[in-house]
Amino acid sequence: MSLLDLDPSSPVPIYLQIVEQVRRLIALGGLRPGDRLPTVRDLAVQCRVNRNTAARAIQELERDAIVRTRVGLGTFVADESPDVDPLERDSILDAQIDRVILEAHSLHVPLEQLPARLWRRIEAFRSQRAAGSTGAGRAATRLAPAASASGITSSSDAGTARAPSEGGSSEQKENR
């Protein structure tokens, strides 16, 4: 597993940064089902954090069924994705989207820009995932800081929808 990019000055607790970035590595193909994670001790050393912090991150990943610990063997990426109730899944995604909307509003970013920004991030994710699945990019996968919306856990939808142009519709331009 490559080094994680943790930000001690972030308001997000370090253990949650580890959880988010391991989830991101899995989503991008940098970690695959069956891959072994470092021991808690090794993870703590690599991330330069207390062992309790590393253990808490692993416990959180286990609770979410992202990883499985096998006594005497280590901790491995789970072979199957956890079953999530569709209503719960939608609720989680809606909460994340609401956070992005509130953050954009507080930063005075016109909400009309969000769809184009989202499509750019989707395309970047797909590119990163494709690069991570080639094998060559897999070992070199390095996480970007959690500056973008978090919580992305998978992307099996290759879809054919296209992003709208960044300029938006003429109606949106008039409202700016």
Which of 49-58, 114-123, 166-175 is predicted with the least confidence, judged by mean pLDDT?
A: 166-175
Asked, for residue 7, whether it belongs to a domain, the answer is no
Tens-digit pLDDT profile for residues 118-146? 999 999 989 988 887 655 444 333 333 33
Model pLDDT for residues 75-86, shown as the tens digit of each residue = 999 987 667 788
**Residue 6 within any structural domain of the chain:** no
Domain that holds residue 48: 14-175
Check: CB of residue 146 under 8 Å from CB of residue 7: yes
Partners of 74 in the β-ladder = 70
Does residue 118 fall inside a structural domain?
yes
Q: What is the pLDDT of residue 151?
A: 31
Residue 3 inside a domain? The answer is: no
The verdict on residue 26 lying in a domain is: yes
Query: Is 5 within a domain?
Result: no
- β-bridge partners, 67: 77
Q: What share of the chain is helix, strand, coil (3-state, %, to 5)?
A: 50, 5, 45
Strands in 36-37's sheet, in edge-to-edge order, are 36-37, 74-77, 67-70
Measured distance CA(105)–CA(99) in Å, rounded: 10
- Higher pLDDT residue, 30 or 112? 112
- Flag whether 1 is in a domain: no
- Provide the CATH number for the domain around residue 88: 1.10.10.10
**Number of structural domains found in the chain:** 1
